[in-house]
Amino acid sequence: MARPSICETVKNRIYNVIHEFRLRNDFVLPAERELAEGLQVSRGTVRKALDMLETEGIIIRENQMTRILPTRKQKGRYAFCAASDELSRHFLFGLYYNLWEDLRLLSPDYEIELVLIPHQPDKCPAEILKKLKKYDIIFVSYIREPVVNSMKEANLPLVMLDEQNADCNYPLLCMDNREVGRCAASELLSGGCRNAMTVVYESGHYKPFELRRDGFISEFEAGGGSVMSVVNCKNTENPLESLISLAGEIQANVKPETDGIFYISDEAISMVNWLFEKKICSNPDFKVTAFLGSGNFSKNLTQTEYWVMDNKSMISEMLFLIEKYENTQETPAIFCKRMAPVHYHKTIALSTRERKVK
């Protein structure tokens, strides 16, 4: 998949700065030298990125100052699609509920409508497909593959927000899940861990889990460590049986020398808490790092590093794409096709970490 040029990447990063300035009603950007130092790139690269932003009507340079122009009145219609329960009443995944809540808060200049899609059907319901045809850009969080395929067949202008739905024919805005794993491995290695375990609760194949695990294993082993991976039994529709099987796998594989866990998904971290209470590991230097998705679990493990998606960066990229569309005369389909296969996976930084201690 093609990667954006250095200038395009720097332009997107400056747009993130612009978005933050707008939120605090500050409409003058720092000087080129200051931007270059902050972004750790050359002034020439910053100047070219600013040229691009000025051409797109986002900034104007006058009297030796770079002013941020106000956003124009919304022209297009935009939607945020997320998986829901069968009755389309509630979000199915907390990660994207959190993103939607922040999107509503941080996008006052644009009206973006929420469209919930049941996670179970083998294709997108006809009434939802009909509704989606009125939007100029449709941001798609994690939706089941058959449902997304029916949206593609309807030639809808889609922008993917999850690596599970990545397609070279559509723009992709998401965090780099392999980088999540690498960062988690570095965290445990720097804490002295050399014998780690990855734990994931799965209800089906989900590519981001696989990428987080791959990134962790490659980085941890490159640092001289060894990794044992455990997963629940998926041959049952009973969630309790799956949790029990996961607990059994953890108990069976924790060794005296095990000194760390990377919890890839947060659906069953309460099981890890329970096992700790049972004192399955007596190593006083045992460390845990976990990816915080929905946040629906107890955060009382000691020495735990929680990695989260940087929603603010994600939203800045989404709004930048909208602003870019609003400044073109292209049809939605042509615009999205021209943007593809740009992959903004580096725009989601793992910069927000909280240490939770009892």
Q: What is the block-wise mean pLDDT of the chain (358 residues), using blocks of 10 residues?
A: 72 85 84 91 92 87 84 84 87 90 86 91 89 96 94 95 92 89 91 92 86 96 95 74 82 85 77 61 73 62 70 86 88 90 57 38
Of 3.40.50.2300, 3.40.50.300, 3.30.1280.10, 3.40.50.2000, which CATH number belongs to 177-308?
A: 3.40.50.2300
78-175+311-347 fold: Rossmann fold (3.40.50)
One-letter amino acid of 295: G
d(CA 185, CA 293): 18
Q: Which two tokens stand for residue 148?
A: 């997304």
Listed by start position, the domains of the chain span 6-70, 78-175+311-347, 177-308
pLDDT for the residue 276: 60
pLDDT for the residue 268: 61
pLDDT for the residue 136: 95
SS3 (DSSP) at 16: helix
Statement: the pTM of the whole predicted model exceeds 0.85: no
Alpha carbon separation from 142 to 56, 117, 163, 239 (Å, rounded): 30, 10, 8, 21
What CATH number belongs to 6-70? 1.10.10.10
pLDDT for the residue 345: 59
d(CA 294, CA 225): 29
The answer to whether domain 6-70 and domain 78-175+311-347 are alike in fold is: no
